[in-house]
Structure 1
Amino acid sequence: MAVIVKYIVVRNGEEKMTFATKKEADAHDKMLDIADNLFDFLESAKTKLTEDQLEEISLVMAQKRDALMLILRGMNPKKQAPSKLADKPVSKPAAKPAAKTAAKTKIKEKK
């Protein structure tokens, strides 16, 4: 007989998702917390949206929070994608100066 461990995310007594690892379950639970906070924020803004629309917008914003954070900082998330590839370590010593340049660029963008 095999023992299988499952992590279940429960919200308001309702099972939302089942995960194989605690890390995945925690990440999903955090995303749902963010969505709840966004829902409250949007609802308090007195927008003329239905509850379903508010919920859907909140979930999308929470799921894409990394891109949303860049947008809120005034950056273009599409331009950030290639720089993530530059973060990967390169085994050739000649690539180190380019990596330093990329790191300096990121620091400038954060300011």
Structure 2
Amino acid sequence: MAVVAVWKCDRDGAMFDNKKDAEEHDKMLELAANITALIERNIDGVSEDACEEIGLMLAKRREVLAKACKGKPEALLEAEDSNAETGSEQADSENVTPLAANQ
């Protein structure tokens, strides 16, 4: 029986083949949680689920968001267009290794 090393993110239980991807995912989830808390504190009337979705969406697009904040607001729309064309949102979830029992 072979032993396979995997890294598990304690925030959501996602499994990864390497430590770098696991740490990147964990940092993204931490950013999402902080954005969610910021929205909840500053905007009344937004549901908890909506806050979490917004926080996760912004955290996943943090590089493009940073470009937009630095003077390229059109980068947000360009990134959205390219995501729709290439399906790169699915690529994010492809880094997660499914946990299989009894292999």
TM class by shorter chain equals 0.5 to 0.7
Alignment of 1:1-111 (within 5 A): 1-11=1-11, 15-75=12-72, 76-77=74-75, 78=78
Structure 1 CA distance for aligned equivalents of residues 68 and 41 of structure 2: 22
Structure 1 CA distance for aligned equivalents of residues 44 and 64 of structure 2: 23
What is the identity, as a one-letter code, of the residue corresponding to 1:40?
A
Higher relative contact order (CA 8 A, sep 6+): 2
Q: Deviating runs (4+, > 6 A) in structure 1?
A: none
The offset of 1:74, in angstroms, is 2.5
Give the percent of matched residue pairs that are identical in Structure 1 and Structure 2: 34
Count of aligned positions:
76
SS in 2 for 1:4: coil
The offset of 1:40, in angstroms, is 1.1
Structure 1: gaps (5+ residues):
80-111
- Structure with greater Cα Rg: 1
SS in 2 for 1:54: helix
SS in 1 for 2:3: coil
